[in-house]
Chains A and B, each alone.
Chain A
Amino acid sequence: MNGYVSVMRVRVFELMMLLSAGVEETDAQSKPHQYSYPSIFIYGHQSSGKSHVLNVLLKELELPHATVSCVECVSVALLFEQVLLSFFGCHAASLLPRSPSLSDFVRIYRQQSSQSPAKQTRYIVMEKAELLRDSDANLLPALLRLQELVEDNVTVILLSEIVWDRFRPNTGCFEPLLLHFPDYSKGELQHILAQDRNPSYSDEFYSAYINILLGVFYSVCRDLRELRHLAALNFSKFCEPLAEGKVKETDTHKLWRNIEPHLKKAMQTVYLREVSSLQWEQMQQMEEKENGAVRGLSAHTHVELPYYSKFLLIAAYLASFNPARTDKRFFVKHHGKIKKTNFLKKNEKTSNHLLGPKPFPLDRLLAIFYSVVDSRVAPTASIFSQISSLVTLQLLTQVSHGDQIDAPKYKCAVSMDFICGISRTVNFEIIKYLYDFL
């Protein structure tokens, strides 16, 4: 067994004892014919080694098992087929009728297992078990007591990130044995990450690098997979001063000074998938180019819109983020001076930019639109079709469901930065008209 497993000796031991007793003693003959608990539920954080440990264990001990990912099994038929296939061969899987029910599955399983009775416990491993809740309501309770239903020595192991309390059906079910895979501590993470070191550098050098990496990312991310990916991406940058001959391997402080801003930038870009890892590598090679100079995904927010669409969107934004009472003050020509404090109602103390957009009717949108557009605009079909195409572009969302042609309600679904950009292109000062910034 490899590196991870050595870190989690306790967990593995626990699991092994549960799976089949006495397997850890090779001298005594193993007793795989013993019954195991009908269902085991293993939970723990992402990449805490749930699937890995289980797969390695089942493979090393050569136990008959079927590993099923619930993401793949969009229909139960696929699940049944996979289980029968790995236990009894393709002959059994072909016995399933089209669109099989649980009843068919259990019947065929029984029939097959009576022909080839289990010498050992058979294991069905379900990965991402939280998706089982969304499928058939009977599936989860039936899987949990599968041992009783098929009368065979079978154990169902569910793996999930979510705790068991969120799984329990409301009429109850057979309670599985709960097992927790604890998260890695910082030391353990360091130990595991230090294992895939570059052979051309020394151990200490690489673990110093890992130390720096964890120092930056540990407060945000504890996902081993992600950290590993980041470590692999940024290592070449870390080695750079070494290759240039500027510093020695032991000069950790200088190396840290070199890499730290780089890693901080990585958190804002690669970690968020703003730039892809390929782009990141390219950026590292082109040294003259500053990091982050390549525009990430979210920088491409500029959308070219028709003139009236822009004003429609601005009007929608104003309608969403201003209370309706203040429309008169903003858009009617001869209003008196009113201070904001006089306006404030008790529930309006928190700003609208905190609470999110409010829905508004079409009439209000058009009224604001006419008031912010300078020229006279006729309410043609093109204006209305622009509104509905803004909805399909998901810049607006229609709130009221169904076929309300009469008085549809909308919400504006764009960010502050986006609308500021738009209003700049049409020379409209939107900040002046926003109640929150009065």
Chain B
Amino acid sequence: MSKRKAKDAPLPVGECISQVQDILRKRLCHQQLPDSPEGVEAQHKHLLELLKRTAVHGESNSVLIVGPRGSGKTMLLKCVLRDLLEEKEVEKNLLQVHLNGLLQTDDRIALQEMTRQLHLENVVGDKVFGSFAENLSFLLEALKKGDRSSSRPVLFVLDEFDLFAHHKNQTLLYNLFDVSQSAQAPVAVVGVTCRLDVLELLEKRVKSRFSHRQIHLLSNPTFSQYLERVQTQLGLQDDFPDKTFAQDWNASVKTLCEDKSVEDALQRHYNSSKNFRSNHMLLMLCLSRVSVAKPAIKPADLLEASKMCLVDAQANMLHGLSILELCLIIAMKHLNDVYDGEPFNLQMVHNEFKKFLQRKSNSMYNFEQPVIMKAFEHLQQLEMIRPVDSSSAKTQREYQLMRLMLDNTQVLEALQKYPQCPTDVKQWAMSAYG
């Protein structure tokens, strides 16, 4: 129905779809900032106040934003910065330094990056000169010279803050917090981390200089809020060029969310994780199915995408094993059952497999030891079995102790799905329960 309506629209369907993809992909993949962060208004206000005090009044502050992954910490920070920079005076005045614990892996690199972003005198073009000690004293000197009234405030943003705590002696953190405590140039230190115990990582002297101000982002949306979020994520704004298409699209999204099976699928996702990221992943998979021929998200799309998200990867891999490898895994499973999770080696597995063959007296699976070893090594390469100790050169390959990295249920489930699984193998696998 929507297709017919779209034909009446002033823009061709292809153009509309392209626009939709453009907008939604920016939202889902590129973490485009929303107009106002939802659900975290209080935190937003708190952080904005705090940074404003640094930027306008020259107060030194330190704060930690803590929350699990995908809970919108960076989004919150970016929103606050955007709102903060709207003020003319602040925009002119505030200096920003962004560091990331993943990139600046030690203090020397972090210091170089800081001097570069602050455009200090020892920077020529893009290069920084001087040793670590020189850089540090230079930077501290520059910060010390300033005072509350005259110098420009500096905002330090430390992403992956917990990784900075692993640096040697925590020199960088100590100096930053020290500057923020003493009456020198006004600085604000904002740490972003996903570890709740981040304060335990800090040294005592560093911890005592930190203001112990934490902003927690432990969003806990109810299911109805979650559903609403899905709708707003997929919905089109009023500024979409083709109004009728936008209305159609929004209506189709609304009907999608009201569908019973879709609601069940979303409930499953909600139960496994409530964060934005996994939600985005699901919606992205749905969105990639939208094309000119099918200009709306159908419930079937979402169900399929949800199936793709929730699938057991190990089961997928088990599906592609050869019969011999599967037999070896069953033998390992039996060994695990009998010896209560003790590690095993190839000889034992082969022995167990031979017992099965004797019982069956079927020559079909009579393989030589080297062929079995090859299959065994393939399993090790796939990391379905793992050596107990890593001293691989020390013992012979057939006597190396291994552990099975699969669940009993995983094995049995894989067996059910295996294409053209011989019945005797199936019975052998079940025999422990029979």
A residues lining the B interface (CB < 8 Å): 14, 17-18, 21-22, 24-25, 27-29, 31, 33-38, 43-45, 48, 101-103, 106-107, 111, 136, 138, 141-142, 145, 147-149, 161-166, 171-175, 177-178, 180, 182-183, 185-186, 218-222, 267-268, 271-272, 274, 298, 353-357, 397, 399, 411, 413, 415
- CB under 8 Å from chain A, chain B span 293-346: 308-309, 311, 313-314, 316-317, 319-324, 345
- Whether B291 contacts A22 by the Cβ 8 Å rule is yes
In the assembled complex, the Cα of A39 lies from the Cα of B48 at a distance in Å of: 32
* Subset of 19 A-B contacts with CB under 8 Å: A14-B288, A21-B25, A22-B292, A25-B291, A25-B292, A31-B22, A37-B281, A101-B103, A172-B69, A218-B322, A220-B324, A220-B367, A220-B375, A353-B347, A354-B348, A355-B348, A356-B395, A357-B396, A413-B396
Contact pick for A21, options B194, B288, B313, CB 8 Å: B288
In the assembled complex, the Cα of A298 lies from the Cα of B195 at a distance in Å of: 54
Chief secondary structure at chain A's binding surface? loop
In the assembled complex, the Cα of A35 lies from the Cα of B22 at a distance in Å of: 7
- Whether B320 contacts A356 by the Cβ 8 Å rule is no
- Whether B323 contacts A31 by the Cβ 8 Å rule is no
In the assembled complex, the Cα of A14 lies from the Cα of B305 at a distance in Å of: 11
Contact pick for B285, options A138, A165, A177, A180, CB 8 Å: A177
Known: A25-B292, A34-B21, A175-B281. A272 touches B374 (CB 8 A): yes
Q: Name the A residues within 8 Å of B278 (CB-CB).
A: 175
- Whether B347 contacts A162 by the Cβ 8 Å rule is no
A394's nearest neighbour on chain B, judged by CB, is B393
Contact pick for B399, options A21, A101, A165, A357, CB 8 Å: A357
B327's nearest neighbour on chain A, judged by CB, is A219
A298's nearest neighbour on chain B, judged by CB, is B370
In the assembled complex, the Cα of A196 lies from the Cα of B229 at a distance in Å of: 52
- CB under 8 Å from chain A, chain B span 372-420: 374-375, 381-383, 394-396, 398-399, 419-420
Contact pick for B395, options A103, A219, A411, CB 8 Å: A411
Known: A22-B291, A220-B324, A356-B395. A165 touches B316 (CB 8 A): no
* Number of A-B pairs, beta carbon distance below 8 Å: 184
Does B18 belong to the interface (CB within 8 Å)? yes
In the assembled complex, the Cα of A35 lies from the Cα of B394 at a distance in Å of: 50
7 extra A-B contacts, CB within 8 A, seeds A24-B291, A411-B394:
A28-B14, A34-B21, A136-B105, A149-B100, A163-B317, A220-B367, A354-B351
In the assembled complex, the Cα of A230 lies from the Cα of B103 at a distance in Å of: 47
- Whether A163 contacts B29 by the Cβ 8 Å rule is no
Q: Among B25, B102, B292, B313, which residue has the most Cβ atoms of chain A within 10 A?
A: B102
In the assembled complex, the Cα of A166 lies from the Cα of B367 at a distance in Å of: 31
B23's nearest neighbour on chain A, judged by CB, is A34
Smallest distance from the beta carbon of A171 to chain B beta carbons, Å?
Answer: 7
Smallest distance from the beta carbon of B387 to chain A beta carbons, Å?
Answer: 13
- Whether B25 contacts A45 by the Cβ 8 Å rule is no
Q: Name the A residues within 8 Å of B162 (CB-CB).
A: 171
In the assembled complex, the Cα of A145 lies from the Cα of B394 at a distance in Å of: 40
Smallest distance from the beta carbon of B80 to chain A beta carbons, Å?
Answer: 17
- Whether A163 contacts B314 by the Cβ 8 Å rule is yes
Known: A28-B292, A220-B322. A165 touches B313 (CB 8 A): yes
Q: Name the B residues within 8 Å of A138 (CB-CB).
A: 102-103, 105, 163
In the assembled complex, the Cα of A171 lies from the Cα of B291 at a distance in Å of: 38
- Whether A17 contacts B371 by the Cβ 8 Å rule is no
- Whether B370 contacts A166 by the Cβ 8 Å rule is no
- Whether B126 contacts A107 by the Cβ 8 Å rule is yes
- Whether B347 contacts A354 by the Cβ 8 Å rule is yes
In the assembled complex, the Cα of A44 lies from the Cα of B321 at a distance in Å of: 11
- Whether A178 contacts B288 by the Cβ 8 Å rule is no
Does B26 belong to the interface (CB within 8 Å)? yes
Smallest distance from the beta carbon of B110 to chain A beta carbons, Å?
Answer: 8
In the assembled complex, the Cα of A354 lies from the Cα of B352 at a distance in Å of: 11
Known: A102-B102, A111-B126, A148-B31. A164 touches B313 (CB 8 A): yes
Q: Name the A residues within 8 Å of B314 (CB-CB).
A: 163, 165
Does B145 belong to the interface (CB within 8 Å)? no
Does B17 belong to the interface (CB within 8 Å)? yes
B365's nearest neighbour on chain A, judged by CB, is A219
Q: Name the A residues within 8 Å of B31 (CB-CB).
A: 148
A102's nearest neighbour on chain B, judged by CB, is B103
In the assembled complex, the Cα of A238 lies from the Cα of B292 at a distance in Å of: 51
Q: Name the A residues within 8 Å of B367 (CB-CB).
A: 220
Q: Name the B residues within 8 Å of A220 (CB-CB).
A: 322-324, 367, 371, 375
- Whether B288 contacts A219 by the Cβ 8 Å rule is no
- Whether B370 contacts A268 by the Cβ 8 Å rule is yes
3 A-B pairs with least C-beta separation: A183-B320, A356-B399, A28-B14
Task: Mark B76-87 against chain A: 1 for CB-CB distance below 8 A, else 0.
Answer: 000000000000
Q: Name the B residues within 8 Å of A36 (CB-CB).
A: 25, 29
B22's nearest neighbour on chain A, judged by CB, is A34
In the assembled complex, the Cα of A274 lies from the Cα of B287 at a distance in Å of: 51
- Whether A356 contacts B396 by the Cβ 8 Å rule is yes
Smallest distance from the beta carbon of A49 to chain B beta carbons, Å?
Answer: 12
Smallest distance from the beta carbon of B394 to chain A beta carbons, Å?
Answer: 5
Smallest distance from the beta carbon of A120 to chain B beta carbons, Å?
Answer: 13
In the assembled complex, the Cα of A29 lies from the Cα of B15 at a distance in Å of: 9
Q: Name the B residues within 8 Å of A177 (CB-CB).
A: 281, 284-285
